[in-house]
Amino acid sequence: MNLKYKRVLLKLSGESLMGKNGFGIDADMLSHYGTEVKSLIDAGVEVAIVIGGGNIFRGLQAEKSGIERVQGDYMGMLATVINGMALQSHFEQIGLFTRLISAIEMRQIAEPYIRRRAIRHLEKGRVVIFSAGTGSPYFTTDSAAALRANEMNVDVILKGTRVDGIYTADPEKFPEATRFDKVSFSKVINSGLNVMDMTAFTLCKENDLSIVVFDVGIPGNMLKIVSGEAIGTLVEI
C-alpha cells in the first residue's frame, strides 16, 4: 500500500471512549479503536496515541468542587492514565504490541517518558500510548498531543472528533454551516475556528505539522487518511 503518512499521532478525547454512556469506558468503543489502529499497523504505519481523560475527570471541573486548579489538573492527568491502560489492554488482546508511557512517573504500570526510547518503540511497530498529558498543570491533552507529535517527528496529527471536519460554525448547532476540505493555520486563527487550544495549535503552526480533523466514529477513516484520501479537513501552512 502506498502511504501518504507513515508515522502518525492519533489524538482521542476521553469523551470518545464513553460511546453512548454518560461517563466511563464503553467496550464497543475500545473495540472500534482497536480495529482502526490495527488496520494502520497492518498497513505498516507507525502509530502514537494521546488520550484525554474527560470521560472520568476534567481539571476544570475541579474548581466547582472546591479543588484548586493545579490539583484538579493532576487528577485529570491520572484519568488519562486509566484510559491509556484500557486502550493498552484491549490492543494487546487483539494482537498489537504496545507501550504505555506516562509523563508522571509510575513505574508499576507505565514507562517514564524518554524520547529516544519512545521513537524506538514506534520503529519496532509498537503502538505508543502517551498518558498523563505533558506532566504539568495548565496544559491540555491537545497541547500534549502537539508536543509529543513534534518530538516523535510524526507526519501528521489525526484529531478524531464527532464531526467530519472543520466547519464555518458548529454544525450541531448551525445546520447551514459549511465544511472546509483544506484550511490554513492563519485562517483558523483569524476566524476563531475551534480546532485545538491555541497553545497546541501554535506549536503545530510554528513547526509546520499538519493536522487532519475527521470523524473518528466512521470505520476505515484512519486507513483512508494515511492512504492519501481526502477525509475530513486538512490544516496546513
Split at pLDDT 50, 70, 90, the class of 227 is very high
Given a contact cutoff of 8 angstroms between Cβ atoms, the answer to whether 156 and 8 are in contact is yes
The larger pLDDT score, comparing residue 219 to residue 64, is at 219
3-37 pLDDT, tens digit per residue, is 999 999 999 999 999 988 888 999 999 999 999 99
- pLDDT tens string 151-161: 999 999 999 99
pLDDT at residue number 27: 95
State the number of CA atoms in the 13 A half-sphere of 16 facing the CB. Answer: 24
CB-based contacts of 111, cutoff 8 Å, min separation 6: 99, 100, 101, 102, 117
CA distance 160 to 47: 14
Euclidean distance between CA atoms 10 and 37, whole angstroms? 9
d(CA 221, CA 40): 10
Nearest Cα residue to 79 out of 47, 104, 108: 104
pLDDT at 91: 98
- pLDDT of the residue at 63: 65
Q: Give CA–CA dist 40/5, Å, rounded.
A: 10
The answer, yes or no, to whether residue 60 has pLDDT greater than 70, is no
- Structurally, at CATH architecture level, domain 7-236 sits in 3-Layer(aba) Sandwich (3.40)
Longest dimension (CA), the chain: 53
- State the Cα–Cα distance between residues 195 and 205, nearest whole angstrom: 12
Task: Report how far residue 18's alpha carbon sits from residue 36's, in angstroms, rounded to the nearest whole number.
Answer: 17
Domain boundaries, the chain: 7-236
Q: Residue 15 corresponds to which cell in the numbers above?
A: 469523551
Q: What is the pLDDT of residues 82-114, one digit of tens each?
A: 999 999 999 999 999 999 999 999 999 999 999
Predicted TM-score (pTM) of this structure: 0.94
8 Å CB contact between 40 and 8? yes
Q: Is 74 helix (H, G, I), strand (E, B) or coil?
A: helix
Cell of 184: 490554513
Q: What is the pLDDT of residue 59?
A: 60
Question: How far apart, in whole angstroms, are the C-alpha atoms of residue 62 and residue 68?
Answer: 7
- pLDDT given at position 62: 63
- Convert the pLDDT of each residue in 159-209 to its tens digit: 999 889 999 988 888 889 999 999 999 999 888 888 888 999 999 999 999
For residue 231, the model assigns a pLDDT of 96
pLDDT score recorded for residue 19? 85
CB 194 within 8 A of CB 46: no
pLDDT of residue 21: 83
- Across 117-138, average pLDDT: 97
